Amino acid sequence: MTADSHYHLLIPTYRNDFNTCFYCGCIAAGHDYAPPRQYLEFYLATREPSEFLKIPACNECHDHLKACKAGTLDERHKFARAKLAKKYEKALTIYDMWTEDELAGLDFSLRHSIEAGLTLGAETTERLAYPGFAYEAAGQQHNVEYRAPQVFEVFGEQFDTFRAALDFASKAYRIPKNALKQAFADNEHHFELAIQAMHKQVAEKEFNQQLKQQCAAFAKQHKQAVIFVHKQVERYLSENDEMTITEALAHLYLTRIKPAETARR
């Protein structure tokens, strides 16, 4: 018995899907196997989850999946998507970061490079979103699970793509796209949380600058060590959330500096 006899050919239900890669929607050039043929005996012996399918695949997905040992179609689909996303990470970043309207002011060579990235990024985004297709295997019909279109919300504004939401949020809230994209990933993939976190960082940075400058000026005026002034003010602020830096410095002067000056006289 040949190895292929253990596998059921995945046949598209609809004509438009013939010769199409199940994983990304490109033109199929061969077949992938779930599980891989080199691990067939292992799956037969252990009965690990597997579907024994022969799947239409493009050359690129086929090459990526050589490193995948998974035995189910869904696992292999996820693996192929992850590999595509990794391979075209730079193009996807360009696609997220740039719009066609922003290319006008660039010199020819840079514009050409960005345009190429936009084209490849758009193509890759479409491939990553490809859900597969309805098919028949071993006499059974299988439908692709419906996935509701993802919607990205930015304080009440809704967008069909991450790219459009990122562009809007960056311009509306004056946050560089690179920083906002990272904040989005760090904050539960939620634009509102990301924007709030970025604004909090900016506020904290401005506050720390003011704290440093005012403490240094106070220390110079009253001939005190900067580190002493800084620590005292930080302590006062931590004890009273409503106190300002100016009020904390005034409190320091009245409770520590002035009594010491009076005592020296």
DSSP β-bridge partners for residue 115: none
Using alpha carbons only, give the angle 198, 168, 154 rounded to the nearest 5 degrees: 65
- Please count the other Cβ atoms lying within 10 Å of the Cβ belonging to residue 121: 23
- Give strand ranges (E) for 138-263: 140-142, 152-154, 157-159
Digit-coded pLDDT (tens) for 139-148: 999 998 877 8
Digit-coded pLDDT (tens) for 156-179: 999 999 999 999 999 999 999 999
- Please count the other Cβ atoms lying within 10 Å of the Cβ belonging to residue 20: 20
Fill in the DSSP letter of residue 161.
Answer: S
pTM above threshold 0.95: no
Picking from 116, 65, 62, the residue whose alpha carbon sits closest to that of residue 88 is 116
- Digits of tens for pLDDT over the chain (265 positions)? 566 889 999 999 999 999 999 999 999 999 999 999 999 999 999 989 999 999 999 999 999 999 999 999 999 999 999 999 999 999 999 999 998 888 888 888 999 999 999 999 999 999 999 999 999 999 999 998 877 888 999 999 999 999 999 999 999 999 999 999 999 999 999 999 999 999 999 999 999 999 999 999 999 999 999 999 999 999 999 999 999 999 999 999 999 998 877 877 6
Amino acid found at 196: Q
The domain spans of the chain are: 3-142, 152-264
Alpha-carbon 129 to chain mean position: 15
The residue with tokens 């904040």 is 183
